[in-house]
Amino acid sequence: MSQAGFLKSDGRAVVVAIDHPLYSWPCAGLEDRAKILRQVTAAGADAVIASYGTIRDLRPAFGKAAPILKLDLTTVTLGSSYPLTEYVPAWTVEDALRLDVQAVLTYVQLGAPFELEALRVAGQVAAACDRHGLAYVCEIMPIECAMFPDAAAPEAIAAASRAGAELGAHVIKTTMPVPAESVGEAVACGVPVILAGGALAKDRAGLLAQVETAVAQGAAGVAFGRNVWGSRDPAGMVASLCGIVHADRRVVVQ
Amino acid sequence: MSQAGFLKSDGRAVVVAIDHPLYSWPCAGLEDRAKILRQVTAAGADAVIASYGTIRDLRPAFGKAAPILKLDLTTVTLGSSYPLTEYVPAWTVEDALRLDVQAVLTYVQLGAPFELEALRVAGQVAAACDRHGLAYVCEIMPIECAMFPDAAAPEAIAAASRAGAELGAHVIKTTMPVPAESVGEAVACGVPVILAGGALAKDRAGLLAQVETAVAQGAAGVAFGRNVWGSRDPAGMVASLCGIVHADRRVVVQ
Amino acid sequence: MSQAGFLKSDGRAVVVAIDHPLYSWPCAGLEDRAKILRQVTAAGADAVIASYGTIRDLRPAFGKAAPILKLDLTTVTLGSSYPLTEYVPAWTVEDALRLDVQAVLTYVQLGAPFELEALRVAGQVAAACDRHGLAYVCEIMPIECAMFPDAAAPEAIAAASRAGAELGAHVIKTTMPVPAESVGEAVACGVPVILAGGALAKDRAGLLAQVETAVAQGAAGVAFGRNVWGSRDPAGMVASLCGIVHADRRVVVQ
Amino acid sequence: MSQAGFLKSDGRAVVVAIDHPLYSWPCAGLEDRAKILRQVTAAGADAVIASYGTIRDLRPAFGKAAPILKLDLTTVTLGSSYPLTEYVPAWTVEDALRLDVQAVLTYVQLGAPFELEALRVAGQVAAACDRHGLAYVCEIMPIECAMFPDAAAPEAIAAASRAGAELGAHVIKTTMPVPAESVGEAVACGVPVILAGGALAKDRAGLLAQVETAVAQGAAGVAFGRNVWGSRDPAGMVASLCGIVHADRRVVVQ
Amino acid sequence: MSQAGFLKSDGRAVVVAIDHPLYSWPCAGLEDRAKILRQVTAAGADAVIASYGTIRDLRPAFGKAAPILKLDLTTVTLGSSYPLTEYVPAWTVEDALRLDVQAVLTYVQLGAPFELEALRVAGQVAAACDRHGLAYVCEIMPIECAMFPDAAAPEAIAAASRAGAELGAHVIKTTMPVPAESVGEAVACGVPVILAGGALAKDRAGLLAQVETAVAQGAAGVAFGRNVWGSRDPAGMVASLCGIVHADRRVVVQ
């Protein structure tokens, strides 16, 4: 497996996600896409997960950050609590190529009624990426279900990561396990694992400390959305993440 | 994003929709397609939304107005109250190219049981248009639902417009928000927003005043059907709309 | 729109339908396909609606009559009362081309649970015909439903005809409205309208008088099945129809 | 229509069917495919209906008999009483061509819940065969239902045969009607009709007498499975059938 | 039929399966894919059944063992008791070719609600393999159902094997019948039959004795997963299996 192009030479990446308006609105802080893109890329973000329309129309604002095209969508009327919902693919690897994008992403919820079809899409997209030389980021997360009563348990996150590796993902995006120290079980799958941020954290320093722990245990970085664009200081948050992810800097509560 | 060809150099357009007979009949005023087409295009309409059959068979009557091919359809027996209904794509971008049409449209109802599939079609059509150099008009409207208890509320119209932009629409057609002054929230999505007219207004001057307000707040124009062909004076209505949309003329109650 | 090839220079046609054995058997009078084909074509039929097998195997018996390939089918076990039933496409425009056939037909029931899919097929077949230079006959008929409590009412037949025109049909086959004088409302759709015969009429002269009236009001002819092959004198019936349709001859009760 | 290649110059054929292990096992007498193939082809069978695997792996054992590839399948766990079940196509005309096979077969049950889809497949396979110069055998049989209270009644078998002809079959395989004398009603469809054998007959001479009667009334032969490979003397049974079908020999009870 | 390339010149093979993490996790012993691959291939395994991701990313660790790509998947949240579940194809023969893999596998459960679709996939994959010169391993197993009250009964295993042969499998993987002596009924299908190991056996010597018996009765080898990677000594287990399968060595309880 060749390394995904958006990973730095240290094999890690700070990714920002701004795809939320297709399933959640309003998104305070994300009204002006060009502005947030310029802020986070200037602050060092390695890649940005975004929709087809955003990548096509705002490419210059990505700067040096690599766009990651999200190929699937769900209902716009999902609501901000993000209940369980079906995701279906709308765009293809061919669309990514036409947009001159080198990485794509789809979303899999393990334990959801839609799991099987999402896994099939994941496997097909992985193969399509290999055909065309793209990188496939598999966002694969357990939800609370019979097999995963605790969706953030170490073994649940490890199961998700290993499944992503078997499916052919080049990079895995999954939930931060609790405790963060346990991420090594997931990292053992052999494919770079980056961690999602989830809802806006009240304790920013605590979140950054978790990232530091996870990176120390082998995680390849983060993919944060609400904790970047929804924070009081998106550029500062990205800079802090870059410091931790790429330089192994210790977090100091500010 | 290159600008849709049917927008004037001011980035705005007056669009007339005459696609109604595929889901509503009788349509008083729309019996003679050639006549209404000649009237509205002579009066300055920039584009006309019409069915496959109408565009193929009556092209000369479009004059200088750009035809916009509606790619999807619903049941003919829908009835004039337009209840919630499924739309499915029947024609393709390839059909548009064969008809020498530069813009196409599909319809998305946010909050409907058919929302997810309609969104998928929207994303696919946007990409197909980019492949072939066409413009995609995404008609995307909230309906009354849990997330949008008021389907014309500013935040609902803004959510719909932003979703259209993320999907890759080149132009968005949506509902006139209440109040019309709030259209700026929708316009902030960055893609030209044109406003639908809905049922025939009893207060024509009031409707035109709303258009004036909306254009002043950044709307890119209108796409009116029943308020044009169902009015007592289709040509006059189009001329009035052109005056407001293209010349920022004030409405005077007649 | 170029004129369908099976219409005579007067823009009209007498069509015979012999496709019934795929959904109704026995069909007294239709046992011998070659015989009935020779009878009706010798008597002047301009076109014959038939199945794939009949057109492929009995082409010489069509004589100068143009074969119209019916692309869809329903269950064989429908029964002679023709209850509501689903039609699905089985053959394609490519099959028509291989059979050297210049016109095809599909069936749409407005108000049926299967209406939406049948409309989609109609739109797709219309476009496929345009791609390949064939004529599409859209057989589109209201059934008794909330929107059309009287399936033969003038406004119901007009709605069906107009929908067929918007879909891109080159010729419309629909129900004879009651009264026949009202067919002008349907003819106003701008596409040639030919009228179905329905069940075998007890009053042949009355049926012919209806045809005469309809043609006088602009109908482009008839497409009769049971009233031709199920009659006591198929050739005579076709000759009578040709006299009315093509020569504006008055019907005289025999 | 050109004649199916597996019919002899007299337009008739003795066909053996050995496709049963895909929906019924054990099949006493069919354990050794090569052996039964050599027996029946040495005895004069003109064609053998078999599965993809059998034709690919045992072709030399077919001798001069033409393989007929069954394109569809149902569940293996159907059981020996053959209850109503869905058949779906698994192989294609392209597969037949690659196997150097000149004839294919699919199965249609008239009156079954799966009838419509099976008819659609039949029509599509008929057209695919015409594209590639193959022969399509349509196995089409009434089952007991509202329209056919007696599934072996002359009018039921005639309806099935006529439907097969309209669908574009080159050969029809259907049920032996009761009485066998009535097969002429089915034969009137104009396409060669061959008769299935059904369950192993206790009265072999009676079965052969039925065949003799049917052939005398115009049937084009038989397609027997259990009455060949399940009999005490497969080769003898085939020889008897060949004597009746090809030489109009009278049956003498042995 | 040409012989599958992973069978040795004696027509037999010892296959190891490590595809379990896509439907069951944790898998104690399978955490490190490279390690287990090197162990089993060094010990003489002829082939290894694995996922798309494993074959793509860890090919060097396969050594001389042939990778067999499993084309279908089920839910990750299946759980370790392997309840009844749907399998769907995610990868294709084209993917196998791109990975330079010569053999593929899909899974069919006879008696499951998903049986019909799995059989269709099996037939299609068999044909696709023949088009491209690959070997198709059909993993086909009865489950407890009306037709197979005992899913390991000799007649059940024979029915499954024969069905696999009729479908066009080049190799059949099925359940070890009880008793193992009865495997000859399955072997009679004419296609090489290899036997699955199932859950980790408490009595390893007994399991090996079963293998010895089965091979003596004509089985072409084994495809073991949990009994290899889940055992205390994967390399030793593979060596024992190779001794039995390829050299007809007697098992001695160690």
Q: Which residues contact B224 (CB under 8 A, 6 or more apart)?
A: B14, B15, B16, B17, B196, B197, B237, B241
Structure tokens at C248: 């504006």
Which residue in E48, E16, E10, E3 sits closest to E249, CA to CA?
A: E10
Chains that touch E (3 or more CB pairs under 8 A): A, D
pLDDT in tens, chain D (254 residues): 568 999 999 999 999 999 999 998 999 999 999 999 999 999 999 999 999 999 999 999 999 999 999 999 999 887 666 677 899 999 999 999 999 999 999 999 999 999 999 999 999 999 999 999 999 999 999 999 989 999 999 999 999 999 999 999 999 999 999 999 999 999 999 999 999 999 999 999 999 999 999 999 999 999 999 999 999 999 999 999 999 999 866 555 44
Residue-wise pLDDT tens digits, A157-179: 999 999 999 999 999 999 999 99
Q: Which residue from A minimizes the CA distance to E98?
A: A131
Residue of B nearest to A60 (CA): B1
The tens digit of pLDDT for each residue in E125-158 reads: 999 999 999 999 999 999 999 899 999 999 999 9
Q: Angle at Cα D59 formed by Cα D57 and Cα D60, nearest 5°? A: 120
Would the pLDDT of E159 be above 50?
yes
**Is the Cβ of D135 closer than 8 Å to some Cβ of chain C?**
no
Q: What share of chain B is helix, strand, coil (3-state, %, to 5)?
A: 40, 20, 40
DSSP D175-205: PPPSSGGGHHHHHTTSS-EEEE--SPPS-HH
Pair C66, C48: CB distance under 8 Å:
yes
Residue C29 pLDDT greater than 60, yes or no? yes
Rounded to a whole number, what is the distance in Å from the CA of D152 to chain C's nearest CA? 15
Burial A189-223 (b: 16+ CB within 10 A, else e): bbbbbbbbbbebbeebeebbbbbbbbbebebbbbb
Question: What's the N-to-C CA distance of chain A in angstroms?
Answer: 40
The DSSP code for A23 is: T
B143 touches chain A (CB under 8 A): no
Residue of E nearest to A122 (CA): E90
Alpha carbon of B133: minimum distance to chain A alpha carbons (Å): 12
| Angle subtended by helix axes A204-216 and A234-247, to nearest 10 | 20
Q: What are residue A222's DSSP bridge partners?
A: A14, A195
The lowest-confidence range among A96-105, A116-125, E143-152 is E143-152
Taking each continuous run of H as one helix and of E as one strand, the counts in chain A are: 9, 10
**Cα–Cα nearest to E96, from E61, E123, E131:** E131
Return the number of CB contacts < 8 Å for A and E. Answer: 92
Question: Which of C76, C81, C97 to substitute to test the interface with D, most D CBs within 10 Å?
Answer: C76
Query: E214, E179 in Cβ contact below 8 A?
Result: no
Is pLDDT above 80 for E249? no
pLDDT score, position E77: 80
* Interchain CB contact of B22 with C (< 8 Å): yes
Cα D47 from Cα D40, distance rounded (Å)? 9
Pick the closest to residue B20 from B197, B194, B253, B204 (CA basis): B197
Judge whether residue C67 has pLDDT over 70. yes
Structure tokens at D112: 């079954």
Contacts of residue D228, defined as CB under 8 A and 6 or more positions apart, other chains included, come to D16, D17, D40, D197, D234, D237, D238, D241
Q: Which residues of C touch B75 (CB under 8 A)?
A: 110, 115-116, 119
Q: In this complex, does chain C touch chain E, defined as having at least 3 beta-carbon pairs under 8 Å apart?
A: no
Considering chain B, what percentage of its residues have pLDDT values greater than 90? 89
Residue E171 backbone dihedrals phi, psi, to 5 degrees: -145, 145
Quote the mean pLDDT of chain E: 94
DSSP conformation letters of A52-94: HHHHHH-GGGGTTSEEEEE-EE--GGG-TT--S---EE-S-HH
CA distance D162 to chain C (A): 7
Q: What are phi and psi of B140, to 5 degrees?
A: -130, 120
Per-residue model confidence (pLDDT) at position A3? 82
Q: What is the mean pLDDT of residues B98-110?
A: 97
Minimal CA–CA distance to A227: which of A65, A45, A75, A2?
A: A45
Which residues in chain B are contacts of C158 at CB distance < 8 A? 25-26
Distance CA B123, CA D100 (A): 44
Query: Does pLDDT of C178 surpass 80?
Result: yes
Q: What is the four-CA torsion angle of A9, A14, A16, A17, rounded to 10 degrees?
A: 80
State whether E119 and D75 contact (CB < 8 Å). Answer: yes
Mean pLDDT on B98-127: 96
Mean pLDDT of C217-235: 97
Distance (Å, whole) CA C104 – CA D167: 16
C219's tokens: 């109908």
The string of pLDDT tens digits covering residues B227-237 is 999 999 999 99
* Chain A residues lying within 8 Å of E25, measured CB to CB: 155, 158-159, 162-163
Whole-number average pLDDT of chain B: 94
What phi and psi values does residue A46 have, to the nearest 5 degrees? -85, -30
> With 0-12 CB in 10 A as exposed, 13-18 as middle and 19+ as buried, what is C184?
middle
Query: How far C43 CA sits from the closest chain D CA (Å)?
Result: 24
Higher pLDDT, D38 or C81: D38
Contact D91 E119 (CB under 8 A): no
Number of Cβ atoms within 10 Å of the Cβ of B172: 28
Does E190 contact D21 at a Cβ distance shorter than 8 Å? no
Nearest to C57 among D1, D127, D146 (CB): D1
- Report the distance separating Cα E129 and Cα E96, nearest Å: 10
Q: What span, in angstroms and rounded, lies between the C-alpha atoms of A221 and A174?
A: 11
Chain A residues in contact with B147 by the CB 8 A cut-off are: 77-79
pLDDT at E74 over 90: yes
Give the pLDDT confidence of A220-237 residue by residue, as tens digits. 999 999 999 999 999 999
Positive or negative: CA dihedral B33, B34, B37, B38: negative
SS3 B73: strand
**Nearest-Cα residue of chain A relative to residue B184:** A31
In Å, how far from its chain's centre is CA D137?
Answer: 8
Q: How far is CA E172 from CA B111, E108, E192, E198, in A?
A: 50, 11, 6, 15
| Measured distance between the N- and C-terminal CA atoms of chain B, rounded to whole angstroms | 40
> Is C in contact with D (3 or more beta carbon pairs below 8 Å)?
yes
Angle at B95 between CA C3 and CA C138, to 5 degrees: 45
**How does residue B251 score in pLDDT terms, banded at 50, 70 and 90?**
low
Residue C250 has pLDDT above 70, yes or no: no
pLDDT of A254 over the 50 cut: no
Closest to A203 in 3D by CA, of A182, A231, A165, A225: A231
Nearest CA in chain E to A117: E88
CA distance A36 to A197: 17
Q: Strands, DSSP E only, in A26-181?
A: 47-50, 66-70, 72-73, 88-89, 103-110, 135-142, 171-174
Pairwise pLDDT comparison (E76 vs B59), residue with the higher score: B59
Return the H-helix or E-strand segment holding C14. strand C13-17
pLDDT at residue B254, rounded to an integer: 45
- Which amino acid appears at position C109 of this protein? Q
Asked if the peptide bond before residue C179 counts as cis, ω within 30 degrees of 0, the response is yes
Give the pLDDT mean for E192-206.
Answer: 95
- Which residues in chain E belong to E strands, given as ranges? 13-17, 47-50, 66-70, 72-73, 88-89, 103-110, 135-142, 171-174, 193-196, 221-224
User: What pLDDT is attached to residue C77?
Assistant: 80
Inter-residue contact B151 to B157 (CB < 8 Å): no
* Nearest-by-CA chain E residue for A127: E95
For residue D104, which residues of chain E lie inside 8 Å, CB to CB? none
Kindly give, in sequence order, each residue whose CB lies less than 8 Å from that of residue E176, ignoring residues fewer than 6 positions away: E152, E183, E195, E196, E197, E198, E210, E211, E214
Of D119, B89, B99, the residue nearest C124 (C-alpha): B89
Which residues lie across from A67 on neighbouring strands?
A: A48
Cβ partners under 8 Å of residue E238, min gap 6: E14, E16, E39, E40, E43, E44, E45, E228
Q: Which chains lie within 8 Å of chain B at 3 or more CB pairs, if any?
A: A, C
Peptide bond into B113 cis (omega under 30): no
Nearest by CB: C131 against B31, B51, B98:
B98
| pLDDT at B247 > cutoff 90 | no
What local confidence, expressed as pLDDT, does residue A249 receive? Answer: 63
